[in-house]
């Protein structure tokens, strides 16, 4: 089977915003406690942060980490997580039916971000709270001193302001499951007033307003239109969320779900353009896809906790163990964001450690890379630059989400320095090798530097503490540039990163 891709140096989509490779930590399960924070662990530093986890996070160069939620934030009092640890209250988290001792709060999280080489993307509670708590929170975090909340931060031991510039105004407020769920009109009005107040404090902050938590929501896309009608002039980004699942164990249907993701982005982009035109605005609002990942492996085991009355501390919740099949899905999701670089400016894989995460830990034991760590790593390392348009001519198939789903999924990024070109390619075909060819118009000196590939004979193969290298990338040969075209043979069900010097 043959698949041809045409690119041209001058046919560009947009600069890929580095923030597309951001991530997420919520006070949920073991994401924080025994995830990033475990005093007494053999690798823990003086602040109790796990050094083995920090090493794995630094390696993926994730620019921002969203915190503290997620559903958790909609009933969270940020004040509970500051001040002396011995004075912090233990609270019941209504979102995940667990307890939280608040030993980690915003100050410690900002310190962890500095150690991890990332920056905080903070969320404010617009569920059980509102404008007043939000304005106090940003003053506590960002004002140098000389006011009540900034002086309180200084008293707590953090003299310098945190200078947090990226803020989420609530979380999934369209969801009936959310504490403080609101209609689009109610939320839009509150979000607008909150944004105005935060901008009165600092005009330079970037603000993210809640869009739909799923394209399947009955309020989609009216929710976006109503919320943006209220907030367009005061916010910068619209938040979208999407998770992927293969509950029917149908690989081709599963991998086709990124077509739904693409349509989701396209539809919301149309709503944004409509409100922009309606308001006669010159401003561009972009998309923050600040929750996305594969999530279904742990659903059954989570029911006992989520439907129980035990209120445990840091339980094993949402601990999906990812397989090789999920590598292909995550690779295609990242390809979608790259191809939509003109619209999607922020994206956060949910989450970072233990909870539907690329990194797993054992309490008191090792940390290791899940299978999906690798496509995220490669996209973050080599997917920074300009996204190029791709014209694909190849075989397709029909799936539940639609017809003409291409077996070949590809995105191409030219590095910011202009001297490198990277192809991220997924062959979705179950059994056939694809003879892959790409014309390289405008790149006469191109040569192959490296072809990284992930394949495995078992789609359900996983990594574990006992076998952390079961599913890993390998460098392969046989890929070359010949007569102005890139040529390679891509095995069935393979994820490929082809790096060129240009």
* pLDDT tens track, the chain, 502 positions: 999 999 999 999 999 999 999 999 999 999 999 999 999 999 999 999 999 999 999 999 999 999 999 999 999 999 999 999 999 999 999 999 999 999 999 999 999 999 999 999 999 999 999 999 999 999 999 999 999 999 999 999 999 999 999 999 999 999 999 999 999 999 999 999 999 999 999 999 999 999 999 999 999 999 999 999 999 999 999 999 999 999 999 999 999 999 999 999 999 999 999 999 999 999 999 999 999 999 999 999 999 889 988 999 999 999 999 999 999 999 999 999 999 999 999 999 999 999 999 999 999 999 999 999 999 999 999 999 999 999 999 999 999 999 999 999 999 999 999 899 999 999 999 999 999 999 999 999 999 999 999 999 999 999 999 999 999 999 999 999 999 999 999 999 999 999 999 9
Which residues fall within 8 angstroms of residue 123, CB to CB, at 6 or more apart? 66, 67, 68, 69, 70, 73, 167, 168, 169, 170, 171
> Of the residues 26, 79, 139, 172, which is catalytic?
172
Helix axes 51-60 and 373-382, enclosed angle (nearest 10) = 50
**Any long-range contacts for 44-47 (C-beta under 8 Å, 24+ apart)?**
45/115, 47/108, 47/111, 47/112, 47/115
Query: Which residue from 145, 243, 225 is spatially nearest to 188, judged by alpha carbons?
Result: 225
Q: How far is CA 281 from the centre of its chain?
A: 29
Q: Is the previous residue joined to 441 through a cis bond, with omega within 30 degrees of 0?
A: no
Q: Is the previous residue joined to 43 through a cis bond, with omega within 30 degrees of 0?
A: no
**Integer Cα distance of 279 and 274 in angstroms:** 9
Please tell me the predicted confidence (pLDDT) of residue 418. Answer: 87
Query: How would DSSP label each residue in 380-419?
Result: HHH--EEEEP-EEE--EEEETTEEEEESEEEEEEEETTSS
Q: How far is CA 152 from the centre of its chain?
A: 32
Please tell me the predicted confidence (pLDDT) of residue 247. Answer: 96
Angle made by CA atoms 26, 32, 36, in degrees to the nearest 5? 125
**Integer Cα distance of 111 and 465 in angstroms:** 28
Please tell me the predicted confidence (pLDDT) of residue 370. Answer: 98
Please give the biggest Cα pair distance in the chain.
70
Cα dist. 85→106, 156, 162 in Å?
12, 10, 19
SS3 185: helix
Please tell me the predicted confidence (pLDDT) of residue 107. Answer: 98
> Of the residues 108, 139, 224, 291, which is catalytic?
291
Beta strands in 154-248 (DSSP E): 166-169, 206-210, 237-244
Q: Is the previous residue joined to 221 through a cis bond, with omega within 30 degrees of 0?
A: yes
Angle made by CA atoms 33, 110, 119, in degrees to the nearest 5? 110
**Integer Cα distance of 48 and 97 in angstroms:** 25
**Integer Cα distance of 171 and 482 in angstroms:** 50
Would you report the helix, strand and coil content of the chain in percent, each value rounded to 5? 30, 30, 40
What six digits make up the tokens of 237? 């980004």
**Are the C-beta atoms of 395 and 429 separated by less than 8 Å?**
yes
**Are the C-beta atoms of 484 and 490 separated by less than 8 Å?**
no
Q: Is 319 a catalytic residue?
A: no
**Are the C-beta atoms of 492 and 392 separated by less than 8 Å?**
no
Three-state secondary structure along 258-304? HHHHHHHHHHHHHHHHHHHHHCCCCCCCEEEEEEEEECCCCHHHHHH
Task: Give the strand pairing for 91-93 and 98-100.
Answer: antiparallel
Which letter does DSSP use for residue 71 in this model?
A: G
Which residues fall within 8 angstroms of residue 119, CB to CB, at 6 or more apart? 63, 64, 65, 113, 164, 165, 166
Q: Is 291 a catalytic residue?
A: yes
Query: Which residue from 283, 244, 250 is spatially nearest to 262, judged by alpha carbons?
Result: 244
Please tell me the predicted confidence (pLDDT) of residue 2. Answer: 97
Please state the length of the chain. Answer: 502
Cα dist. 253→77, 246, 249, 356, 491 in Å?
41, 8, 9, 21, 19
């Amino acid at each position: 089977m043959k698949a041809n891709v045409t690119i041209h140096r001058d046919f560009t989509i947009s600069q890929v915003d580095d923030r597309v490779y951001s991530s997420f930590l919520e006070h949920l399960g073991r994401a924080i406690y025994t995830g990033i924070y475990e005093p007494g662990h053999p690798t823990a530093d003086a602040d109790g942060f796990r050094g083995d986890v920090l090493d794995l996070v630094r390696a993926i160069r994730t620019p921002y980490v969203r915190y503290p939620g997620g559903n958790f934030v909609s009933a969270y009092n940020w004040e509970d997580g500051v001040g002396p640890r011995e004075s912090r209250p233990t609270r019941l988290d209504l979102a995940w039916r667990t307890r939280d001792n608040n030993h980690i709060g915003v100050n410690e999280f900002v310190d962890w971000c500095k150690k991890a080489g990332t920056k905080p993307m903070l969320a404010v509670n617009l569920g059980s709270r509102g404008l007043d708590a939000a304005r106090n929170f940003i003053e506590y975090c960002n004002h140098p001193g000389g006011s009540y909340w900034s002086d309180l931060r200084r008293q707590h031991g953090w003299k310098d302001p945190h200078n947090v510039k990226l803020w989420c105004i609530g979380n999934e407020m369209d969801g009936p499951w959310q504490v403080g769920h609101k209609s689009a009109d109610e939320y839009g009005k509150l979000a607008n007033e909150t944004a105005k107040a935060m901008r009165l404090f600092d005009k330079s902050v970037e603000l993210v307003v809640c869009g739909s938590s799923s394209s399947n929501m009955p309020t989609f896309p009216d929710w976006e239109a109503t919320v943006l009608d209220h907030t367009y002039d005061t916010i910068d980004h619209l938040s979208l969320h999407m998770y992927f699942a293969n509950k029917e164990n149908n690989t081709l249907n599963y991998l086709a779900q990124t077509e739904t993701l693409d349509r989701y982005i396209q539809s919301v982009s149309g709503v944004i353009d409509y409100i922009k035109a309606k308001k006669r605005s010159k401003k561009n609002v972009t998309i923050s896809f600040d929750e996305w990942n594969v999530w279904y492996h742990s659903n059954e085991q989570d029911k006992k906790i989520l439907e129980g009355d035990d209120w445990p501390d840091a339980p094993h919740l949402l601990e999906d163990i990812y397989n090789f099949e999920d590598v292909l899905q995550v690779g295609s999701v990242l390809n979608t964001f790259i191809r939509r670089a003109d619209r999607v400016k922020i994206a956060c894989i949910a989450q970072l450690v233990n909870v539907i995460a690329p990194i797993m830990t054992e309490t008191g034991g090792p940390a290791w890379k899940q299978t999906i760590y690798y496509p995220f790593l490669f996209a973050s390392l080599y997917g920074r630059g300009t996204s190029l348009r791709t014209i694909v001519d190849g075989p397709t198939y029909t799936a539940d989400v639609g017809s003409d789903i291409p077996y070949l999924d590809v995105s191409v990024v030219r590095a910011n320095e202009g001297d490198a070109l990277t192809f991220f390619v997924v062959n979705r075909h179950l059994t056939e090798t694809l003879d892959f060819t790409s014309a390289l118009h405008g790149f006469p000196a191109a040569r192959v530097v490296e072809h990284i590939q992930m394949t495995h004979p078992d789609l359900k193969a996983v990594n574990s503490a006992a076998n952390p290298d079961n599913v890993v990338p390998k460098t392969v040969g046989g890929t070359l540039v010949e007569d102005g075209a890139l040529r390679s043979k891509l095995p069935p069900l393979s994820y490929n990163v082809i790096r060129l010097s240009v």
